């Protein structure tokens, strides 16, 4: 599994607005809807919010990965948003979140969903990746950095 298979420039924003985590989820989901990756935006939003209310998906090192399985998608969808200032995502370390990946998978997709979560968590343990992404200048540079995540 690599992120290049899931992400393209239409699913990335380097200018993520400030707001609470539910507004951020909605903003990222809108990118997926506009790209035609989500059949039912309302259903997907409901699934993501329910999952987030159950347990925060704000990790450490500035990373959050709101995720859910949903009937609103027929294939796995990954969206990335960068907020250089940082937002409150109820992270484990209590620090601002800069990197938000929204992940939606079909109801019957377990292995690839978990593999993608693990790949993201593993790559954000590497300080160089965090620094490079935080300093990225535009979507194309983000794509180049994420392409190296293995």
Q: Mind telling me the catalytic residues?
A: 67
* E strand residue ranges, the chain: 12-13, 63-64, 67-69, 77-87, 97-105
**CA–CA distances in Å: residue 132 to residues 6, 66, 79, 142:** 20, 22, 18, 9
**CA–CA distances in Å: residue 100 to residues 60, 108, 118:** 12, 24, 15
Q: Which residue, among 65, 96, 53, has the nearest Cα to 3 in the 3D structure?
A: 65
State the Cα–Cα distance between residues 44 and 39, nearest whole angstrom.
Answer: 9
Give residues with Cβ within 8 angstroms of 145, minimum separation 6.
Answer: 129, 132, 133, 136
């Amino acid at each position: 599994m690599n992120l290049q298979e899931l992400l393209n420039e239409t699913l990335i924003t380097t200018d993520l607005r400030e707001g609470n985590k539910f507004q951020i989820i909605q903003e990222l989901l809108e990118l997926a809807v506009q790209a035609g990756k989500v059949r039912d935006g309302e259903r997907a939003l409901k699934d993501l919010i329910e999952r987030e209310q159950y347990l925060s998906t704000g990790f450490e090192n500035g990373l959050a990965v709101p995720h859910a399985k949903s009937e609103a998608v027929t294939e796995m969808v990954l969206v990335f948003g960068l907020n250089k200032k940082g937002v409150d995502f109820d992270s484990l370390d209590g620090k601002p979140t800069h990197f938000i990946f929204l992940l939606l998978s079909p109801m019957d997709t377990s292995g690839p969903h978990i593999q993608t979560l693990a790949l993201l968590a593993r790559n954000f343990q590497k300080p160089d990746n965090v620094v490079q992404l935080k300093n990225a200048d535009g979507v194309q540079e983000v794509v180049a950095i994420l392409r190296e995540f293995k």
